[in-house]
Amino acid sequence: MIHPWNEASWQSVLAGVDKLPHALLISGPEGVGKLALARHLARRILCETAEGREDACGRCEGCHWYDTGAHPDFRLIQPEALDAAAAGEAEGPEESERPAGAKKAKPSSEIRIEQIRNLADFLNIGSHRARRRIAIVHPAESLNANAANSLLKSLEEPPAGALFVLVCHQPARLLPTVRSRCVSLEVPAPDPALAAKWLAEQGLARPEALLRFNSGAPLRAAESSGMPVAESVAAFLKTWQDRPLAALGLLKDKEELALLVEGLQKYAYDQAFRGAGMPARFLSYRGDARPDAGSALRWARIARELGRIRRRLDHPLNQSLQLHRIMQLFHNE
């Protein structure tokens, strides 16, 4: 499926679909549907009756294989952690179900060299269905150093008929040598009106506020429908000022904690912007007094510190320490 705001990007890929080079780099902000675009392209190329048409037919054998996730000429390479999340197994078996002494290995958040080596084997066999063989690498910045170097070798001497589609949120984090071997397609930030309309069609309330809170990325907004937007962050902060421990008791699990810290960080950035005389970016503050100009730098520091805390939240032992740190930050304000 092509998201409505990506129609122009799709048309530009489609215009050259029969002369695509061996590597395409699709980059743009996170949460705007780049992977969906890459998958749509793969399905279109693997469709066996698509010549001269915009979309895959959905009826041929190629489409059938692709739609059942078993096309022999297609691979999606992503970090184990994303595969696990997609399969709904991120938590793994309960403690009691594991053999005694077995430690639960945390799914990797990197793309590892074995994955790229297996990919090279797959691409070197040749096509099963006499069309191209396609590998989507998502997100490309999660390739670790060894994997990136291994991929670079394949990009330098691509197997005949191979097409690499690298999906990337932060192309600056890719090896320049990898970047330079790809034809680049930059997916722009979505048109806000189209994105809000789409969110409303997905049944989400207050799509504009959700979109704003998620920096304009509609897919992030759609996933985070429980996110504390404007009022709930404000309500939390009010409880926090009166009874911080009661406010923390409102959090059910670490996902809620993560959302809260994200909300607080965006609140702090907004205060910094507003203190400096600029408009708020994430939340709306109708009727709230502007912070004074002297506090803008202090709020910016708080926002950066909250960013550091967000990156460490994954570690369960750290959570109470981090909460303590957050309370200090806001109490000194």
In the list 20, 36, 60, 152, the residue contacting Zn ion (rule: CB under 5 A) is 60
Tell me which residues in 161-220 interact with Zn ion (CB under 5 A).
Answer: none
Tell me which residues in 275-294 interact with Zn ion (CB under 5 A).
Answer: none
Measured in residues, the chain has a length of 333
Strands 23-27 and 162-168: parallel
Binding span for Zn ion by CB under 5 A among 53-61, 121-129, 142-150, 238-246: 53-61
Pick from 119, 111, 109: which is nearest to 153 by CA?
119
Enclosing H/E stretch for 310: helix 296-312
Dihedral (Cα; 111, 114, 119, 120), 10-degree rounding = 130
Tell me which residues in 21-50 interact with Zn ion (CB under 5 A).
Answer: 47
What's the min distance (Å) between Cβ of 40 and Zn ion? 13
- Of 47 and 167, nearer to Zn ion (C-beta) is 47
- Count of residues that bind Zn ion according to CB under 5 A: 5
What's the min distance (Å) between Cβ of 182 and Zn ion? 26
Tokens of 223: 């996933």
What's the min distance (Å) between Cβ of 64 and Zn ion? 8
- Look up tokens 């059910």; give the residue: 252
In the list 23, 26, 63, 195, the residue contacting Zn ion (rule: CB under 5 A) is 63
Q: Sheet harboring 74-77: ordered strands across?
A: 74-77, 133-137, 162-168, 23-27, 183-186
- Bridge partners (DSSP) listed for residue 75: 135
What's the min distance (Å) between Cβ of 211 and Zn ion? 34
Binding span for Zn ion by CB under 5 A among 59-67, 150-158, 203-211, 315-323: 59-67
What's the min distance (Å) between Cβ of 57 and Zn ion? 3
**Residue 56 binding Zn ion, by CB under 5 A:** yes
Please check whether residue 219 is in contact with residue 31, taking contact to mean a CB–CB distance below 8 angstroms: yes
> Which residues contribute to the site for Zn ion (CB under 5 A)?
47, 56-57, 60, 63
